[in-house]
Amino acid sequence: MKRIVIMASGSGSNAENIIEFFQSKETAMVTHVLTNNERAKVLERCNRLKINSLVFDKEDFIKTNKILDFLKNEADYIILAGFLWRIPMKIITAFPNRIINIHPALLPKYGGKGMYGMHVHEAIKENQEPLTGITIHFVNENYDEGAIIFQAETAIKSEDTVNDIAKKVQKLEYEFFPEVIEKVILKGNGQ
């Protein structure tokens, strides 16, 4: 059984969805959730779901090998579920094609630094896009530029608010993210 470590910075609804999905699977299990935000709601979810969590800072992540060493010991796959920091090259090198991110838009559009969460949905609404969706991709050294694994789209109506767009995208995230993670693990990418 493969070990998944989730990294999240915020509420953790995708993290919870992934944890619950793998509770009934023999493919993999979520062993830990790591966060760079000591006030992240994902920590409350971890307590409720009895999942180990760890809070870390920039020094642990970038300047020392504390998080790298932890991941090498505890993870086969790393899943980014609303994690906002760029992953250091030393971690990417240690986990080739085993770090997976989800982005709330159809990359390559609306990606890059600063394009996350509601910022993405606001830009899509402002530009009157007819479609949006999700992109699940491997992580490389640049924000949102790793190889695309999967995309799903949803139509946007002119009357849709930014919140409506966010709900449509979140529905796709919940539906597809855990299944795509499982497919990647079953294929054994990067192993």
Which stretches within 7-98 are classed as H helix? 13-23, 42-49, 58, 66-74, 89-94
CA-to-CA dists, residue 157 to 13, 102, 112, 131, 160, angstroms: 25, 23, 25, 9, 5
Cβ 76 vs Cβ 98: under 8 Å: yes
Identify the pLDDT of residue 188: 82
Cα(90)–Cα(190) distance, rounded to whole angstroms? 16
Domains assigned to the chain: 2-102+135-148+174-187 (3.40.50.170)
What residues are annotated to the active site?
A: 103
Q: What is the pLDDT of residue 113?
A: 86
CB 111 within 8 A of CB 105: yes
Q: What 3 state SS string does 119-136 have?
A: HHHHHHHHCCCCEEEEEE
What is the value of pTM for the model shown? Answer: 0.95
DSSP state of 97: T
7 φ, ψ (degrees, to nearest 5): -115, 130
Rounded to the nearest integer, the mean pLDDT of the chain is 95
Q: Give me the pLDDT at residue 146, please.
A: 95
Residues of the chain under the 50 pLDDT cut: 189-191
CA distance 153 to 136: 12
> Which pLDDT value is given to residue 190?
43
pLDDT for 114 equals 87
Q: What is d(CA 166, CA 43) in angstroms, rounded to the nearest whole number? A: 22
